[in-house]
Amino acid sequence: MIVPWQQLEEATLHNLITEFVSRDGTDNGDNTPVTTRINQVLEQLRNGSAVVVWDEMTETANIVPADNIGIA
């Protein structure tokens, strides 16, 4: 289920994005500061190229590219 990112509390959204950009394997040797990566993901959410999805089975939220779920 897609969750409109605008409906998340600011702290919740920030925590979700921070967790997303700091997961093991997400930096791929990239030395970009975490704050920059957070801002990049937030911009992707704003422009619709990424979305927040909720998995009811695992009760977890994730950020995925919109084209991965066929809406971009």
- Homologous superfamily, domain 2-69: YehU-like (1.10.10.610)
Domain ranges of the chain: 2-69
List the chain pLDDT tens, one digit each, 72 residues: 999 999 999 999 999 999 999 886 555 667 788 899 999 999 999 999 999 999 999 999 999 999 988 765
Output the pLDDT for position 27.
Answer: 56
Output the pLDDT for position 1.
Answer: 92
Output the pLDDT for position 31.
Answer: 78
* SS3 of residue 45 by DSSP: helix
Give pTM, 2 decimals: 0.85
